[in-house]
Amino acid sequence: MKVLIANRGEIAVRVIRACQELGYPTVAVYSEADRAALHVLYADQAMPIGPAPSRESYLRIDRILDAAKKTGAEAIHPGYGFLAENAGFARACRDAGIIFVGPSPESIEAMGSKTKSRQRMKAAGVPVVPGLTEPVRSFDEIAAFAKSSGFPIMIKASAGGGGKGLRFVEREEDLRPSFERVTSEAQSFFGDSAVYAEKFVPSPRHIEVQILGDQHGNVIYVGERECTLQRRHQKVVEECPSPVVTPELRQQFGEMAVRAAKAVNYYSTGTIECLMGPDRSFYFLEMNTRLQVEHPVTEMVWGVDLVKEQLRVARGEKLTMTQNDLKPSGHAIECRIYAENPARNFAPSPGLIRYINLPQGPGVRNDNGVYTGYTVPVFYDPMLSKLICHAATREEAIQRMRRALTEYRVEGIETTIPFFTALMSHPDFAAAKFDTGFIDRNLAELMKERGGNGDVDAAIAAAAILAFEESQQIRLPDQDDSPWKRAGREEAMKGRL
């Protein structure tokens, strides 16, 4: 089965590797900005699909299907983001006689609308956060809900996801501007201005359950992940298992997730996302009908290759395991490494990567999408890679992550590595005392200088870059008259005099 990967970056590389291990030929697609991207270099074939803006390339269903037909690809894996949860794309693949590596378009549609999915979940006996179950476009309807339920509430885009199109509203005077902002964002991001509202769960944790299903009616759950640590509603650190979920609670989460998946005849990988209150009560939040960014932590703990399972299920095969086969082992933590400058409010930091050193050693995994000499473009999500550390205990996993972060070097652009180094050293993180607002509340503290000798580190990094460039005979711009070389020549001349 030849597989076209309709994505880019680290997830495209991840899928290519799974295909290679299964013996499947691969096809990469790329925009003009990604001509030299890592996924293009790794694939067996590569096809251009348009200019840099994603709406003219990675979101063009017609061009992706055309690339599949020209290369003879029998299946398309969408990765995550872009078209991964687009029911129209899944249906277009099916109509073209191409296997879509994911759930059916009907399942995607059933869970794509946040209000419709809430209706289905309530009917299936799945607990949901109290709130509206019908999308609305009228401010008066939102105001009526706020009056009856009381503040605070959350206003969310009905077709939303990915942390976009939602607002926390604590006071009545903020209700109208928040409503107007969310409807505007909903129209801009999702092409649908409909919204809904739900009661705010105080000090929540964000827990998600990994599920796997095949086309023969089998559905299992593969543990839970702790995804509470977020910045501006975007996950940045994930763990498996959750440090606060007991085996009994894990079973409750899992059985709920299987019930939710079966309610929409789901197959392939998927994730049931939940909010859990301080009293351990939990509620269905939404379902992501795709592979998650944070899937590696589940793979490391549960010993399951989720991408390979996706590919097998897409071919019509049964799951290679049952619920009783699954046994967790140890603890895993993932940090998402972004090309962002934490010191400048996490502003994007595109540009040339002059040098990169990936951490290694026992229990360290890099899902990476860049290399030395690669130019990070301005057009896409700034995530460079994911650093995953696995160990026997959570304490050991944290220590391993701290060690790995000290080895991780990226020169030429700014990254979020210093931020994660500070976070891993925070006592409340070590004690698992956090909720979804933890990072935003503690950002100033996390961004403080935390010791170390910056001048020495900079000198070591500069020397390493110079040595690498010399060994590779690389000449970067404005380097013909290097001050390092001038200093060396001056010392040499002194020795001869």
Q: Is the backbone of residue 166 left (phi > 0), alpha (psi -120 to 50) or beta?
A: beta
d(Cα 346, Cα 478) in Å, to the nearest integer? 28
- Three-class secondary structure of residue 212 per DSSP: strand
d(Cα 128, Cα 143) in Å, to the nearest integer? 21
The tokens describing 458, both together, are 């900079």
Beta-bridged to residue 274, according to DSSP, are 207, 284
Q: Which of 14, 205, 290, 400 is catalytic?
A: 290
**290: annotated active-site residue:** yes
d(Cα 106, Cα 328) in Å, to the nearest integer? 32
- Let me know how long the chain is: 497
CA angle 395, 441, 437 (to 5 degrees): 70
Q: At what angle do helices 306-314 and 9-22 cross, to 10 degrees?
A: 70
Q: Is the backbone of residue 388 left (phi > 0), alpha (psi -120 to 50) or beta?
A: beta
Residue 281 DSSP class? -
Contact by Cβ (8 Å): 37, 30: yes
Helix or strand holding residue 105 (H, E): helix 105-112
Contact by Cβ (8 Å): 348, 382: yes
Pairing of strands 3-5, 75-77: parallel
In whole angstroms, how far apart are CA 175 and each of 101, 151, 179, 455?
41, 10, 6, 49
Closest CA to 197 of 146, 150, 163: 146
CA angle 66, 316, 287 (to 5 degrees): 80
Give me the active site residues, please: 290
